[in-house]
């Protein structure tokens, strides 16, 4: 259901999607939100995410979220007639996306050269764990493996604790995000050059690119950084602090904010202490400063502390539980979980791309396809 009469920027763009699980489907879901026509090609057994819970009436929540707004066909690529039909779908497509292990698409007859042969201007995106070539290219690449190999796990967690994974499949998601970004850049470039391109998106590369802070520490500090828990490794006080009934986030990035924090705590002289005269000195003396802040917070609930800090212009927040965050996303003004009508499940919340644009229309997400739902329309002709 269209909610206004504005346009979507990718209307008329056709994408053949041979991806499964998370990184590739997330990429194409983002593009579908912008109006692209996505044809999802699945093997006879379906995308693996169809079989991963939680389920409701046999429908996978993860599959539903990641495959919104798509049409779906089933093809056995080892069947020559099915392969020919997939290549026919690709022949007038703008984009072809796959996230097989490197070499598999070629063996199945849908590698870059095979698709380029039927569509010379194709934008062909390959998403993998470690890239299309190199010594690690054939390694299995689940998100947890990539998080471990990227260094992100090594800098996540308490200082004296174990390396800790991020609480979401961040390597898969950032690879999908970068893939969508690269596809958009390639579409723009093709308008000027008239040429297609093969995009090589590696989960490891993408995740590593999200770590400028540890890279900066290593560049000029000479040593690889370790874990520091919930505080910022370079700025202080910038982290999580204990109040009477929970944790308060305080994020101070400069001397002006620190002076305001000291005033909010009714201890303005702390700002004049030589141990706390600069961000670097505050970080060097972080334990002493933490004691002073948490002594003050011990007299306050999270709610009252946030009120005081907000009045002083200090960036701060409570640490919300996921339930609270979901409620805010569902019912807040930004509508991060708009309603989708599912033919079997009725009205359900659905994720959508979060960017707002003044001239783009907003549409309610459409349900993910059932297995082979659009074969009659697109494939068995």
pLDDT in tens, 98-116: 999 999 999 999 999 999 9
Question: What six digits make up the tokens of 378?
Answer: 């697109």
**Is residue 243 domain-shared with residue 283, that is, in the same domain?**
yes
Which residues are annotated as catalytic?
Answer: 232
**Is residue 141 domain-shared with residue 279, that is, in the same domain?**
no
**Is residue 19 domain-shared with residue 155, that is, in the same domain?**
yes
Q: Which of 265, 333, 327, 335 is nearest to 295 (CA)?
A: 265
Task: Identify the pLDDT of residue 5.
Answer: 65
User: How many CB atoms neighbour CB 273 within 10 A?
Assistant: 16
Task: Identify the pLDDT of residue 2.
Answer: 46
**Is residue 372 domain-shared with residue 247, that is, in the same domain?**
no
> How far is it, in rounded angstroms, from Cα 41 to Cα 300?
56
**Is residue 104 domain-shared with residue 187, that is, in the same domain?**
yes
Task: State the average pLDDT over residues 73-92.
Answer: 97
**Is residue 108 domain-shared with residue 246, that is, in the same domain?**
no
Task: Identify the pLDDT of residue 140.
Answer: 86
Q: Would the pLDDT of 180 be above 70?
A: yes
* Segments of 180-306 assigned E as strands: 197-202, 238-243, 246-251
**Is residue 309 domain-shared with residue 354, that is, in the same domain?**
no
Q: Which of 136-150, 238-252, 357-371 has the lowest mean pLDDT?
A: 357-371
Domain finish residue from 290, 320, 350: 320
**Is residue 250 domain-shared with residue 348, that is, in the same domain?**
no
**Is residue 266 domain-shared with residue 374, that is, in the same domain?**
no
Question: Between 363 and 179, whose confidence is greater?
Answer: 179
Where does the pLDDT of residue 1 fall: very low under 50, low under 70, confident under 90, or very high at 90 and above? Answer: very low
Contact yes or no for 370/58 (Cβ under 8 A): no
Q: Would the pLDDT of 266 be above 80?
A: yes
CATH number of the domain where residue 87 is located: 3.40.50.10540
**Does a structural domain hold residue 88?**
yes
Please state, for a pLDDT cut of 90, what percent of the chain lies above it.
Answer: 87
**Domain range enclosing 309:** 238-320
**Is residue 200 domain-shared with residue 275, that is, in the same domain?**
no
CATH number of the domain where residue 255 is located: 3.30.1540.10
**Is residue 173 domain-shared with residue 250, that is, in the same domain?**
no
Question: What six digits make up the tokens of 67?
Answer: 């495959």
pTM: 0.93
**Is residue 66 domain-shared with residue 185, that is, in the same domain?**
yes
């Amino acid at each position: 259901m269209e909610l206004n009469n504005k346009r979507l920027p990718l209307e008329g763009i056709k994408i053949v999607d041979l991806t499964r699980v998370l990184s590739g489907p997330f990429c194409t879901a983002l593009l579908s939100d912008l109006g692209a026509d996505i044809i999802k090609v699945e093997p006879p057994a379906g995308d693996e995410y169809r079989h991963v819970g939680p389920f409701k009436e046999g429908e996978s929540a993860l599959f539903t979220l990641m495959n919104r707004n798509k049409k779906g066909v089933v093809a056995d690529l080892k069947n020559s007639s099915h392969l020919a039909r997939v290549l026919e779908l690709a022949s007038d497509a703008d984009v072809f996306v796959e996230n097989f292990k490197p070499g598999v698409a070629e063996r199945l007859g849908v590698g870059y050269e095979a698709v380029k042969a039927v569509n010379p201007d194709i934008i062909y995106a390959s998403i993998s764990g470690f890239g299309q070539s190199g010594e690690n290219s054939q390694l299995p690449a689940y998100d947890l493996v990539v998080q471990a190999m990227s260094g992100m796990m090594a800098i996540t967690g308490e200082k004296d604790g174990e390396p800790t994974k991020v609480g979401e499949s961040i390597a898969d998601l950032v690879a999908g995000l970068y893939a969508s970004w690269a596809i958009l850049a390639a579409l723009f470039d093709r308008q000027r050059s008239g040429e297609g391109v093969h995009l090589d998106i590696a989960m490891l590369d993408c995740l590593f690119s999200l770590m400028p802070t540890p890279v900066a520490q290593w560049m000029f500090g000479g040593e690889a950084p370790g874990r520091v828990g919930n505080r910022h490794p370079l700025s202080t006080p910038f982290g999580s602090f204990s109040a009477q009934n929970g944790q308060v986030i305080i994020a101070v990035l400069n001397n002006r904010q620190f002076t305001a924090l000291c005033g909010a705590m009714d201890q303005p002289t702390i700002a004049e202490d030589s141990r706390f005269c600069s961000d670097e000195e505050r970080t060097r003396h972080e334990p002493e400063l933490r004691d002073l802040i948490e002594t003050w917070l011990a007299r306050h609930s999270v709610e009252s502390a946030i009120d005081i800090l907000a009045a002083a212009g200090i960036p701060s927040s409570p640490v919300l539980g996921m339930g609270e965050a979901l409620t805010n996303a569902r019912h807040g003004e930004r509508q991060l979980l708009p309603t989708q009508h599912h033919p079997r499940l009725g009205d359900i919340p659905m994720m959508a791309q979060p960017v707002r644009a003044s001239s783009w229309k907003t549409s309610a997400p459409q349900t993910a396809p059932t297995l082979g739902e659009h074969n009659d329309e697109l494939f068995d002709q």
